[in-house]
């Protein structure tokens, strides 16, 4: 799998040697990274205005055990904020923490990697996590674009669109809305133009993404 362009790998581990080793490995594979010595430091980054999280694919390499806020506690906070889909979490564990990491995967973590890790296997999983993040962000962006398109419709255009999607012909739409067939045709054309579709089927398929 090719690296995801503009993807960012966040590393949160209190062990400086682990942070440096992972950063070196990622640089060797042309994957950018940013390292943090604690969960608190990572949370502070998230809280900064202009944080890029949510604007580009990203994943989080997270140590299970750390002084202060643990990796598991940080993971729970990310879960509560609904961030683990766009920011897949790969736990870094010692042998004793494997059962805990397995439980975290069941609750939504992307995967776990036992120290010492296999470079190739770890990079493969990181790239897969970045690909998942990219897919989630794309779905979110499509929904935002769709919401913006719907916001451009007038109330009457929304009425016509609803009946078009139900499969009604122009004559029945005109009867239901007490307007002329010609007016229905005009509204229908404007709906198709604003929603950037060419058919009622395409319009219905687009709205199913909501």
- 157 shares its domain with 136: no
Task: Give the Cα separation of 58 and 122 in Å (integer).
Answer: 15
Asked whether residue 3 carries a pLDDT value surpassing 60, the answer given is: no
- 48 shares its domain with 136: yes
Q: Look up the pTM and report it.
A: 0.78
The bridge status of strand 33-36 relative to strand 8-12 is parallel
Which domain, by its residues, includes 97? Answer: 8-140
2 part of a folded domain: no
- 63 shares its domain with 160: no
Q: What is the pLDDT of residues 113-150, one digit of tens each?
A: 888 888 888 999 999 999 999 999 998 888 889 999 99
Task: Give the Cα separation of 52 and 82 in Å (integer).
Answer: 16
Q: Are 9 and 32 in contact (CB under 8 A)?
A: yes
Give the pLDDT of residue 118: 82
- 34 shares its domain with 129: yes
Asked whether residue 7 carries a pLDDT value surpassing 70, the answer given is: yes
- 126 shares its domain with 167: no
Percent of the chain with pLDDT over 90: 70
Q: What is the pLDDT of residues 71-114, one digit of tens each?
A: 999 999 999 999 999 999 999 888 778 888 888 989 999 999 88
Burial of 165 from C-beta contacts in 10 A (0-12 / 13-18 / 19+): middle
């Amino acid at each position: 799998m090719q690296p995801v362009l503009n993807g960012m790998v966040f590393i949160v581990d209190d062990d400086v040697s682990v942070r440096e080793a992972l950063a070196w490995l990622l640089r060797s594979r042309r994957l950018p990274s940013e390292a943090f010595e604690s969960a608190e430091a990572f949370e502070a980054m998230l809280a900064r205005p202009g944080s890029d999280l949510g604007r580009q694919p990203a994943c989080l390499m997270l140590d299970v055990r750390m002084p202060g806020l643990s990796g598991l506690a940080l993971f729970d906070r990310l879960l509560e904020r609904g961030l683990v889909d766009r920011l897949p979490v790969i736990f870094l564990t010692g042998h004793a923490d494997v059962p805990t990491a397995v439980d975290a995967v069941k609750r939504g973590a992307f995967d776990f990697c036992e120290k010492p890790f296999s470079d190739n296997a770890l990079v493969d999983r990181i790239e897969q996590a970045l690909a998942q993040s990219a897919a989630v962000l794309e779905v979110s962006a499509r929904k935002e674009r769709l919401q913006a398109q719907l916001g451009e419709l007038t109330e009457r255009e929304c009425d016509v669109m609803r009946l078009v999607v139900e499969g009604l012909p122009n004559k029945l739409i005109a009867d239901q809305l007490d307007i002329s067939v010609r007016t229905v045709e005009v509204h229908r054309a404007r709906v198709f133009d604003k929603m950037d579709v060419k058919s009622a089927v395409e319009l219905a398929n687009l709205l199913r993404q909501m």
